[in-house]
Chains A and B, each alone.
Chain A
Amino acid sequence: NAGVTQTPKFQVLKTGQSMTLQCAQDMNHNSMYWYRQDPGMGLRLIYYSASEGTTDKGEVPNGYNVSRLNKREFSLRLESAAPSQTSVYFCASSTALASGNSYEQYFGPGTRLTVT
């Protein structure tokens, strides 16, 4: 099993450009998440999806859109990148359902994005 995979690993964008970060998991997990990690701020939740076809905003959703394409894949799109979106982005997945118990989260290797 590959676990959680993310592409690309690194990306440099100019202000105003768009791009999509891809995430896939092969663990048949129900829930998937996008976090960003910034120095001094820790990790913060951008969006999450409790099941295929559903998505919800997290703490810092502005400037991002997401798609839960199917159970395996959850993509994050930046429509018009800004320097404030320079960060390391982590995708994660969990067997958790929309309500009920908490479960361990499994993280992808991260995408380092720089917006100039």
Chain B
Amino acid sequence: KNEVEQSPQNLTAQEGEFITINCSYSVGISALHWLQQHPGGGIVSLFMLSSGKKKHGRLIATINIQEKHSSLHITASHPRDSAVYICAASGGGADGLTFGKGTHLIIQP
């Protein structure tokens, strides 16, 4: 069973700061997912990656397969980035996801 660990659990930062959230997993995976959950509960997929790096706007996700580690970065953070960020591992095919416990991010103006 894959164990997915995220850090930090909680993060409060000032608007404009560079944010990094870390995720590690215990066994090999097919892909690593980053998800966002806003207050109110909806869950949205941000990235799915199996190697290297992906970028959408101010969000960047990287993965190091050898070290079993992924990071989510937010550049020029904004209060609207306040949310819970969740990483999840998938073993391939139709397998369900194994989730980390989430990072609660608050960006203060």
Contact = CB atoms under 8 A, between A and B. Distances in A.
Contacts of B91: 102
B92 A100 contact: yes
Contacts of A30: 94
Interface string B75-100: 00000000000101011111111111
B41 A88 contact: yes
Interface of B: 1, 30-31, 33, 35, 41-45, 48, 50, 86, 88, 90-102
A88 B40 CA distance: 12
B94 A97 contact: yes
B101 A41 contact: yes
Interface of A: 30-31, 33, 35, 40-45, 48-51, 58-59, 88, 90, 94, 96-107, 109-110, 112
Contacts of A94: 94
Instruction: List 8 A-B pairs, minimum CB-CB distance, nearest first.
Output: A50-B94, A45-B96, A102-B31, A31-B94, A107-B43, A99-B93, A42-B101, A102-B90
Nearest to A94: B94
14 contacts: A42-B100, A48-B96, A59-B1, A99-B93, A99-B94, A100-B93, A102-B30, A102-B48, A102-B91, A102-B92, A104-B33, A106-B45, A107-B42, A110-B43
